[in-house]
Structure 1
Amino acid sequence: MSTEKTWTATSTKQLYRHKSGTYYARLVVEGKPTWRSLKTQTLSVAKPELARLLEDNAYRDELSRDTEVTEKMTGEEALTLRESQLLNDPATKKSTKRYWKEIVASIKKTWPAFLTLEMRRVTVEQCESWAGKASKLMSPTRFNGCLLVLKSLFKIAIKHGVRRTNPALAVKRAKTRRKDLSHKLPSQTRFREWVEALRQRRGSKAQHKADMVELLAYTGMRLGESKWVQWKHCDFERGEILVLGAPDDGTKNGLFRRVPMIPAARKLLERLKAEHSPAPTDYVVRAKSANKSMKKAAEVIEMDVLTHHDLRHLFATMCIESGVDIPTVSRWLGHQDGGVLAMKVYGHLRNEHSIAAASRVSFSA
């Protein structure tokens, strides 16, 4: 009989190592002890994963307590019910749950009295008063997210017979302005100057950050998507990159897609592969983010500061200016609306190219 121990305790409470080498968390869920795999054999990775799992488990236990619904339901009780619905919905992504927590924090910060207010007594005037203050303290997008949550809370109150009307319906959404990309995005020459400034910065990860910036600009991937691309996902024969997103959540819309290797992307990937000789399961991107370096490099060459998401816009703009139709670019970006959103954001580019194309139409012999 083997005397090898199946589980080995670590110096971290509730963290154990299985004889296979994989780390596990020892949890108590609904009063029952259970093991949860952390899906890693690296201790430095297992520790933060354990912390995240413990936080999620505690949060779920807190919300699983029965909430008695009475006619005096408060804003906090309505929030608890809505949170419970989200956490118990298997179709809700973890990123959505994280976003929910951010929205709730914004509501609490801008309307702290809402938590103790009885839902049946909240008036249209109170909702409008909150909207007037909150809209000045947050972006239009964040405000609209908070408003959407408030409306859902009153729907819960109506469903439970606490009230008959939804006072938040009287509040109008904030207008979101479309970004003026024509002035912010750099030309090809300025982009190359900016990347070179990135590479000239001090630090051992300067080259990795510059490589990541180039990859985002050449593929249109979101930052969160690019982090999970492994070398086995880069198909040089077909000239495609498989974008799967995070292992738990996938991409933003939950679907995988294939992004073509434009010449610049292929050249970058071939160079990186030759330099590092990576294994198929190694990650292509070797930097977590480059915000600070991107800002400093832009200041050096006196260029508008770009974000990681602006590089996605740059990719789409370059594709359209090169003659790729908007529906195709939309698919490359991972949109599922057939190009509606891309048309709103990049439609002005299509119009400019339509005018240029019109000048080449001739009825002469």
Structure 2
Amino acid sequence: MARRGENIYKRKDGRWEGRYIKGRQKNGKIHYGYIYGYKYTEVKHQLILVKYEKQTSNSKDLLPYEGHLTDWTNYWLDTFVRPKVKSSTYASYKNKMEVHVLSTIGSIKLQKLKQSDVDTLLKKMDETLKASSIRSIFSVLKNCLSKAISLNLLSENPCIGVELPKTRRKTVQALSVKDQARLVKEVNSSQKFFSIMLALQTGLRIGEICGLKWEDIDFDNNTLGVNRTVLRIQTEDNAGRKTEIVEVTPKSNNSQRKIPITNALKENLLELQKTSTSEYVISNKHKALEPRTIAYRFQIIRKKIGLEKFSFHSLRHTFATRCLEAGGNIATISSLLGHSSTKMTLDCYTNSFFTEERQLMEKLEFV
């Protein structure tokens, strides 16, 4: 079913589809663009805006640019991204573009890039990557091309209107009380596994544990401050690609936080401090221990006691789950974890509420 003269059609999947002319090929054949939505009025409104923007952009010529997508991406990264973001963010953007995008469509000239090229890229990534990873890579590409538009190197972003794969909500992998007890018994045998206990009792991320310094711990007030994180990022030198350890501020303002510690954890920290020769709580002599070393130590323990399905990040989930079971409210737990919002906490731990839901239903009586 179509609305006469408007190029708006009702699709079989229930959505409305609006069509507009994006341009013409060399042979004169029309090249169409599409807009989708579940409401007719929404599609019509967007179609009007697109046609107006198209007319406006066509009224001025693009600046001449013969570079390929790879050329533009490298310029964008070095000129607009590197000066404004953390080194870890820059490395992440660069890796996403080089490994997943430029290896497939980087040889296409920037001003020849089409939506069909982006569709081809997404299909290829869909063969090996999760939907969440694809969306993250796509976001970087879209931002890269948006900057080209603002500089009048592109008239429109070929990422607009592309259909992305749907993400599935992650299920939380937390240790049961029984498995946690087995783990605690095993790691208490050596101080080199103290990072595992620290994660279980504070919910710190692995990089936050690596970046924890003695100056961050207030033994008088029983608090622990999260002020930095340690991670390994990709870098480049004359010999080629390599990686290095960097220390950066936490990922967000909420991640920089204070966490109360129990008396038992305080005593364990004081005991560890007696033999420490480093400014870092978890260290290799004088230097901070890197995340993959801590992850490797946990891997040894989990294999030994049959907990292979759990990652080090599961310890953070376990801490949150124990807090829920102890009656902690979402706002408090969200603050302890350093989440950006309580919604994020709810999305992560919905399944952990099942015990509480059962207890609630058992209290209800229906006549």
- Compute the TM-score of the two structures, normalised by the length of structure 2: 0.68
Tell me which residue corresponds to 1:191.
180
> What does residue range 289-304 of structure 1 map to in structure 2 within 5 Å?
289-304=293-308
User: Is 1:76 aligned to 2:59, yes or no?
Assistant: no
User: Is 1:345 matched up with 2:336?
Assistant: no
Identify unmatched segments of 5+ residues in structure 2.
1-62, 231-246, 284-288
1:296 and 1:121 mapped to 2: Cα distance?
51
- Which residue in 2 is equivalent to 1:285? 282
Equivalent residue runs for 1:8-27 within 5 Å: none
Contact persistence 2:65–2:153 (CA under 8 A): yes
How many residue pairs are counted as aligned between the two chains? 279
The reply on whether 1:211 has 2:202 as its aligned counterpart is: no
**Residue in structure 1 matched with residue 58 of structure 2 by the alignment:** none
Q: CA deviation at 1:358?
A: 5.4
1:275–1:226: structure 2 CA closer, same or farther, 3 Å change rule? Answer: closer
Go from structure 1 to structure 2 and tell me whether the alpha carbon gap of 1:121 and 1:257 turns closer, same or farther (over 3 Å shift). Answer: same
Q: Does 1:86 align with 2:81?
A: yes
Shift in alpha-carbon separation, 1:123–1:235, aligned structure 2, 3 A: same
Cα distance in 2 for residues equivalent to 1:128 and 1:211: 48
Q: CA deviation at 1:279?
A: 7.0
Pairing 1:100–2:83 present: no
Aligned residue number for residue 134 of structure 2: 143
1:164–1:275: structure 2 CA closer, same or farther, 3 Å change rule? closer
What residue in structure 2 maps to residue 334 of structure 1? 338
CA displacement at 1:317 relative to structure 2: 1.0
- Give the aligned residue type for 1:249: V
* 2:250 is equivalent to residue 251 of structure 1: yes
Q: Deviations over 1:195-246 (max 9, x none)?
A: 444566xxxxx631x2101101111111111122222322233221111114
* 1:156–1:245 Cα change, 3 Å: same
| In structure 2, distance between residues paired with 1:300 and 1:279 | 27
- The equivalent residue for 1:237 is 220
- State the alpha-carbon separation in 1 of the partners of residues 316 and 168 from structure 2: 18
- Indicate conservation of the 8 Å contact 2:97/2:141, yes or no: no
In the TM superposition, residue 348 of structure 1 has moved relative to its aligned partner by 3.1
Structure-2 change in CA distance of 1:130 and 1:330 (3 Å): same
Measured after TM superposition, the shift of residue 278 of structure 1 is 5.5
For residue 323 of structure 1, what is the amino acid of its counterpart? G
Tell me if 1:162 matches 2:162: no
Corresponding letter in the other structure for 2:257: R
Q: 5 Å matches for 1:221-236?
A: 221-236=204-219
CA RMSD of aligned residues (A): 2.8
Instruction: Provide the rounded CA distance (Å) in 2 between the counterparts of 1:311 and 1:275.
Output: 21
Flag the 1:199–1:102 CA change in 2: closer, same or farther, 3 A: farther
Q: What SS does the corresponding residue of 1:258 show, helix, strand or coil?
A: strand
Whichever structure has more strand as a proportion of its residues is 2
Q: Deviations over 1:300-322 (max 9, x none)?
A: 32224322222111111111111
Residue identity over aligned pairs, in percent, reads: 21
1:164 partner SS = coil
Which gives a bigger RCO, structure 1 or 2 (Cα 8 Å, sep 6+)?
2
Instruction: Say if 1:74 and 1:119, in contact at 8 Å, map to a contact too.
Output: yes
- TM-score relative to the length of structure 1: 0.68
SS of 1:242's partner is strand
